[in-house]
Amino acid sequence: MTPPPPDLYQHYVWAAYGVALALYGGLILSWHWRCRHDERKLRQLSASDEEVAS
Amino acid sequence: MIPRGVSWLQQGMAWATATLLAFGLWLVFTAPPDFQQGVTVRIMYVHVPSAKMSLLIYLLLTLVSLLFLWKGYDWADRLSEAATPVGAAFAAVTLVTGSIWGKPMWGAWWAWDARLTSMLVLLVLYVGLIALRSAFDDARRGARSTAVMVLVGAVDLPIIHYSVQWWRTLHQPASFNGPTSAIAAPLLWPLLVMSVAFLALACYMVLLKFRLVTVQRQLEEKLEQVEAS
């Protein structure tokens, strides 16, 4: 059997890797950003609690 | 806040993922094309590890759900909440990349074949678990219901694994079985490295989401305290 020409299906490969990169990368960036945001907010609340207590 | 061990483990996993993915992708794009599939064989290096991770994460969910129902550990519930969307992402990528591979190789984006359908059921299960947890006002009841649902859904795991043996499917049988692999070495090595890289990626994503879930719960508690005072 003759193998298909190298460039014939290349765009399918890029599409598959693009989907994986977009989904995994998007989730990681989103969670990373939200984690930093929520940790900062939690630290601010804890700091204001300590101020009130002192 | 978050235990220091979790943060270190998360950072370690991030470095391991980046290194293994870089090495794995170099192997993937320097490996020769398959004599029948041509370059579409490269889709396998994302598709197969994603499929394995989606099953492995459901196995993890089953174990932590059992622990939560039996012992009531809070960390088990947080781990379950964290792992569910990660498993859903791996299942979604498995289905989409499989479909992208199927079009040039089978001539169809989708077939109602036993392997594909049972994998779709897994994705629906993952999405259903996320919806079920958020449907409850009482978080504890939501956690228990989700854990029970995870155990019911675990029946799909052997169906997915053995579907290619139990039924005549369009999907090919497993060709990656450790020492008895039917794949030639130049194509097998990238698959092995990418599988380990995806294992590290899955660990990293679960740890990151676990950290987020923990912080969000602490923040909710704190805000409730502030409102009460």
- What mean pLDDT do residues B165-185 have? 75
Using a pLDDT cut of 90, give the percent of chain B over it: 70
pLDDT of residue A49: 74
- Residue closest to B195 by CA, chosen among B44, B33, B29, B70: B44
pLDDT of residue B203: 97
d(CA B72, CA B76): 8
Asked whether the beta carbons of residue A13 and residue B209 sit closer than 8 angstroms, the reply is no
Asked whether the beta carbons of residue B93 and residue A32 sit closer than 8 angstroms, the reply is no
d(CA B136, CA B115): 33
ipTM for the whole complex:
0.90
pLDDT of residue B179: 65
Instruction: Answer whether residue A1 shows pLDDT above 60.
Output: no
Instruction: Answer whether residue B173 shows pLDDT above 90.
Output: no
d(CA B195, CA B16): 13
Distance from CA of A10 to the nearest CA of B (A): 6
Instruction: Answer whether residue A48 shows pLDDT above 90.
Output: no
Secondary structure letter of residue B31 according to DSSP: S
Give this prediction's pTM.
Answer: 0.92
CA distances from B86 to B28, B73, B83, B150, B168 (A): 24, 21, 5, 15, 30
CB B109 within 8 A of CB B103: yes
Query: Which of the residues B215, B226, B229 would you substitute to probe the A interface, choosing the one with the greatest number of A C-beta atoms within 10 Å?
Result: B215
Residues in chain A: 54
Q: pLDDT for B103-158, tens place per residue?
A: 998 889 999 989 999 999 999 999 999 999 999 988 899 999 999 999 999 999 99
Which residues of B fall within a CB distance of 8 Å from A39?
1, 215
Q: Which residues are within 8 A (CB) of A48 and not within 5 positions of it... i.e. 6 or more apart?
A: none
Between B114-134 and B139-153, two packed helices, what is the crossing angle to 10 degrees?
A: 170
- What mean pLDDT do residues B155-174 have? 85
What are residue B34's DSSP bridge partners?
B38
Asked whether the beta carbons of residue B40 and residue A46 sit closer than 8 angstroms, the reply is no
Which residues of B fall within a CB distance of 8 Å from A31?
205, 208-209, 212
- What mean pLDDT do residues B89-101 have? 96
- What mean pLDDT do residues B49-68 have? 97
Return mean pLDDT, chain A: 87
